[in-house]
Structure 1
């Protein structure tokens, strides 16, 4: 899921009954009228570009292409990330939702547990060309282990460290950092130059989770036990959260105002030479929307203690991305499967991922030269060697909410000059754990 993107606006309970009323376009025969041929699908797309209107400009010509080849009209709605999860949850209970929808890949197991999404068994995967077309790391974020996936990978992303070349040169920083110690040192050099070291979005709950999950992996923590119980107060989890908040509190290389930043707000400071570094996923559109030219920023893998991410070393990103799903009670299943096949075909995968600055999760599309640029190569290699999926448990979306909120509270403390200690971090994480559903 993008950082971008997504803060769950309240704790949600996903043990919801799935209503049997029909959703999506078409009548019981899939036609939307007396003609037996399927004619209409409704599609909820995620906000991948710099605005909802930009997404419509990207997607509408592709949907017209699909209609021309199949005769199936697709009614599009692009939904902002701040509304998406609640919209989906409402649809799972009312049955009044789309035929096809995009979801943040971290929500796959949570939404799977509602029973509302079509399981992607061998037959359904066969209808779109087979499961083996997709990269293994992307398939790892499509639902709970041991169950048929609830979604199909659509866009793949990973975090990397982006740095402002002018600011680095002005501060005399010779090379971009690859370890957390080097991030701290570069940040302090930038502070001496009157700038801020690295940007965060302390009020962006999902981004908080993405960063502390990765740091947790680096500290040997998973936030859930092997049997799926919350484990937010382990020494590793506490150390991860404290390390992240200490970028503002102890190291003072993050501006106190970042505690209030929500989705995408850190990018303006980066583009306007106020902050030297950001951890981000898809720079090509988001940086350009801030007026940055590609030659003005550089990229290296996100930092790890060793400086050498890769297989057998340390995680440096969560497996970010967008999945595409089908509501199980669609009245146009054939049309929905044809649309998913279209969206995951090589032509669309190359075009859309190139536009959005992401990497195709389809192996043959990923091999296209468009994804060999320096920035996308870092993302592609990270996904292949050093990224981990967030816990695929039914309570994952509540985890994003309660722990993301705890991190937000700790950033507020740091911004106000209040001490952030191991004890205060553990106390906030304990409060978060108490809000999780009891098993």
Structure 2
């Protein structure tokens, strides 16, 4: 009951349809032949066919090893992810294992509905030492109170077209957001744009706003106080939305783009820069028209309107990003869940996952095997300079509120302008919603 009350307080929602079946847990709890595990993961919109094959391969290997069938189901957006967590916790049934974005791990922890890993649990997975230390940074509020097992590392960087920059006399990407905007203006010509940005993506927009705020000295959450009404947040939205509305350095069609479409535009040579992208793009780009013509760089660390990182700011290149695996307490198959997590985080499977999807390993041995690849240098640098989002059960709601500001701005953005009054109103509403979530999470 405590977990149910906690989650209801975190989200401010009441789930009325609890028709989710307990399709994952083995009713006998024996974990023998004929039993099954349900695993919830994010749908991969960039590589859907590869993901389906990976599901099949993992299930076949695990069944051969243990006699246990693995069944995968997917979520498509952060809202879908949050709803799935909420529904399963309230009903006490659902997936055995969840693959959650790192920023949603605090919400999962706050519910009290997921297994807090003991020393014995870590041993069954292969030990904490098998993981890169940085990837454990958002597994829980502190060591000994962790629910998340690092599965994939996803530091964000910016891809750029080396040939286009060279033809414009630009040596390297700017280290400030204002400088990047000016470079993008020089590179917007002849039907080609300076930037490829996915304004309609459910996951990307808030990360730009967060990074610019942190660089400007506003971490968004200070103690129990939300600061979306800070001038730095308004400036961040003006900059981000302005790339399309006022600077005209983004294809107008980008108001409807998801991440995959932004990557496709860059891959076709239709944009010079592709900011807020991870190593997952490498698989696509290496098989595209820009193969051999692109490189990665860390994103700007100087906030809009400034020439240096604020004295109270941090040069954040990326959120501490990736996926964590968590086990539901209601699962009747915990031992097999830990066995599957061990398989998924062992070197061989981690290497296969990287080659298939471009997701960097969290396993120390698998990551070491990639250390000699110069194409990944910027990703390694970004990972070392990444900053974790607040470990608060309210963060998922704040994240959704940040995205909603962009969603609600799309109509005026489509018309090629920013409605200042509406933007301020949307930020005020996001502040109210986010602060209420923080208050309930206390």
TM-score by length of 2: 0.84
Give the deviation of 1:318 after TM superposition: 1.0
Question: Within the alignment, does 1:80 sit opposite 2:79 as a pair?
Answer: no
| RMSD of equivalent CA atoms | 3.0
* Residues 49 and 356 in structure 1, CA contact (< 8 A), matched pair in contact too: no
Q: What does residue 395 of structure 1 align with?
A: 394
Q: What does residue 125 of structure 1 align with?
A: 122
* Residues 249 and 414 in structure 1, CA contact (< 8 A), matched pair in contact too: yes
Structure 1 Cα separation of the partners of residues 46 and 254 of structure 2: 20
- The alpha-carbon distance between structure 1 residues 420 and 155, as it changes in their structure 2 partners (threshold 3 A), is same
Structure 2 Cα separation of the partners of residues 109 and 124 of structure 1: 20
Give the deviation of 1:399 after TM superposition: 1.2
SS of 2:226's equivalent? coil
5 Å-filtered alignment, 1:47-62, equals 47-48=43-44, 50-62=46-58
- The alpha-carbon distance between structure 1 residues 270 and 71, as it changes in their structure 2 partners (threshold 3 A), is same
* Residues 219 and 240 in structure 1, CA contact (< 8 A), matched pair in contact too: no
Q: What does residue 327 of structure 1 align with?
A: 328
- Per-residue CA shift, 1:54-93, capped at 9, x if unaligned? 1121242233223222332222334434644333332222
- Per-residue CA shift, 1:227-285, capped at 9, x if unaligned? 3x322112332232222222223433223332232342222321222221111112123
Give the deviation of 1:296 after TM superposition: 3.1
- The alpha-carbon distance between structure 1 residues 190 and 400, as it changes in their structure 2 partners (threshold 3 A), is same
Q: What does residue 5 of structure 1 align with?
A: none
* Residues 158 and 274 in structure 2, CA contact (< 8 A), matched pair in contact too: yes
* Residues 15 and 114 in structure 1, CA contact (< 8 A), matched pair in contact too: no
Q: What does residue 238 of structure 2 align with?
A: 242
| Matched residue count | 416
5 Å-filtered alignment, 1:36-185, equals 39-48=35-44, 50-81=46-77, 83-145=80-142, 148-185=145-182
* Residues 268 and 290 in structure 2, CA contact (< 8 A), matched pair in contact too: no
Structure 2 residue runs of 5 or longer lacking an equivalent are: 1-9
- Per-residue CA shift, 1:175-228, capped at 9, x if unaligned? 33333233122211112444211121222242111111111111111111223x
Structure 1 residue runs of 5 or longer lacking an equivalent are: 1-10
Structure 2 Cα separation of the partners of residues 171 and 246 of structure 1: 22
Q: What does residue 216 of structure 1 align with?
A: 213
- Per-residue CA shift, 1:393-422, capped at 9, x if unaligned? 11122112211111333454344243455x
Structure 2 Cα separation of the partners of residues 138 and 221 of structure 1: 24
* Residues 39 and 71 in structure 2, CA contact (< 8 A), matched pair in contact too: yes
Give the deviation of 1:172 after TM superposition: 4.3
Q: What does residue 427 of structure 1 align with?
A: 425
SS of 2:57's equivalent? helix
Q: Which is further off, 203-212 or 54-63?
A: 54-63
- The alpha-carbon distance between structure 1 residues 387 and 91, as it changes in their structure 2 partners (threshold 3 A), is same
5 Å-filtered alignment, 1:194-213, equals 194-213=191-210
Give the deviation of 1:324 after TM superposition: 1.0
TM-score by length of 1: 0.84
